[in-house]
Amino acid sequence: MLQKTAIVFDQIYVLVLRDFKLKYNSTALGFLWSFLVPVLQSLVYYAVFNSVARFGIRNYLLYMLSGMFLWYFFSGAVTMSLHCFPGNATLLKKTAFDRSLLVFSRLLTELIHFLLIIPVMFLLMLVYKIVPGWSVLTMPIILLEFFFFTAGICYALATLNVFFRDLERIIGVLLQAWFFMSPIFYHLDNLHGKLRVLVMWCNPISCYMEGWRNIFYDPVWNWKLLAIGVVPALLSWLIGYGIFRLKCDKIAEQM
């Protein structure tokens, strides 16, 4: 039993190592990209929304970056999950390891990238002269919730994409819609009426993003957000992983 667990750890390790190598295969800047892309993206939105349509958010760049990094973890993981199985067809057909590790290792790769960016967030706080509060302690909880929320969606999409390759085509558009439905470059207070209700209560990412900003942007302690966040995380994980379990025996045959 103990030996089996150790081997699973080893398998995750080699898969994560491989994902890292493949991700930066023949790029000059390597890991820097996972930092640069969200920053550059934020600068674009900053330029647009600071000149064309102002939202009147103080420390706007910090506000946007704190949301953008979180979003990039999510969208990166979702995009990668689609290729988990088709991209490993030869491995799946010829080796009998636990298939869930392929998705898990991708998720872990994305998470590690995300964690490496956290020190940058603290640096930015320093630049903006924001004093971290006790809410820093909520970070592991929010990360855990957000991770399971993302993982559930990734497991579902990775599995479904094996059987309906149509998903690959539509997911980019859906992600874009989701991006605009999330308080990344605007504030929930900018929204009114039904739209506000929709973004606040129908998009779980808003909840995690608010929690995240309560650490880096506007340090306040908010138990309610943490408690609410558990629900979508659990639901997503149970449904997503359930779909995977239901179909995992058939994945290799479809390759």
Partner 1 sequence: MQDYAIDIQHLDKSFTLFRHTTGIKGMVLHLPKYIKDRTSPRTKQVFKDFSLQVPAGETLGIAGANGCGKTTLLSLIGKVIKPDRGTVKTRGRISMMLALGAGFANELSGRENIILNGVLQGMPRRKMNELLEEIIDVTEISGEFIDAPIYTYSSGMRARLGFGVAIMTDPDILLVDEVLSVGDSAFQQKCTEMIRAKQKKGMTIVLVSHNRSQLRDFCTSLIYMQGGQVLLSGSPESVMAEINNRKLVF
Binding mask 23-42 for partner 1 (x = CB under 8 A): --x-----------------
- Residues 98-157 within binding reach of partner 1 (CB under 8 A): none
- What are the CA-CA distances from residue 103 to residues 34, 54, 76, 84, 118 (Å)? 19, 40, 13, 6, 23
Here the tokens at position 6 are 């150790």
Looking at the Cβ atoms of 25 and 51, the one nearer to partner 1 is 25
Q: How many residues bind partner 1 (CB under 8 A)?
A: 24
Q: How far apart are CA 74 and CA 154, in angstroms?
A: 9
Looking at the Cβ atoms of 22 and 220, the one nearer to partner 1 is 22
Match 């089996």 to its residue by tokens.
4
Q: Give the binding range for partner 1 (CB under 8 A) out of 10-18, 173-181, 199-207, 228-236.
A: 10-18
In the complex, least distance from residue 207 CB atom to partner 1, rounded to whole angstroms = 37
From 6, 40, 137, 195, residue interacting with partner 1 (rule: CB under 8 A):
6
Q: How far apart are CA 205 and CA 228, in angstroms?
A: 11
Helices (H) and strands (E) in the chain, counts: 10, 0
From 18, 83, 187, 196, residue interacting with partner 1 (rule: CB under 8 A):
18
Counting contacts by CB under 8 A, is residue 90 touching partner 1? yes
Q: Which amino acid is at 189?
A: D
From 2, 28, 96, 131, residue interacting with partner 1 (rule: CB under 8 A):
96
Largest CA distance in the chain: 61
Q: Which of 253, 13, 238 is nearest to 109 (CA)?
A: 13
Q: Give the binding range for partner 1 (CB under 8 A) out of 12-20, 28-36, 55-63, 119-127.
A: 12-20
Q: How far apart are CA 135 and CA 220, in angstroms?
A: 6
Counting contacts by CB under 8 A, is residue 95 touching partner 1? yes
CA angle 5, 11, 17 (to 5 degrees): 140
Counting contacts by CB under 8 A, is residue 97 touching partner 1? yes
Q: How far apart are CA 77 and CA 215, in angstroms?
A: 23
Counting contacts by CB under 8 A, is residue 10 touching partner 1? yes
Q: How far apart are CA 3 and CA 238, in angstroms?
A: 27
Counting contacts by CB under 8 A, is residue 167 touching partner 1? no
Binding mask 215-254 for partner 1 (x = CB under 8 A): ----------------------------------x--xx-
The residues that touch partner 1, with contacts defined as CB under 8 A, are: 3, 6-7, 10-11, 13-15, 18, 21-22, 25, 88, 90-97, 249, 252-253
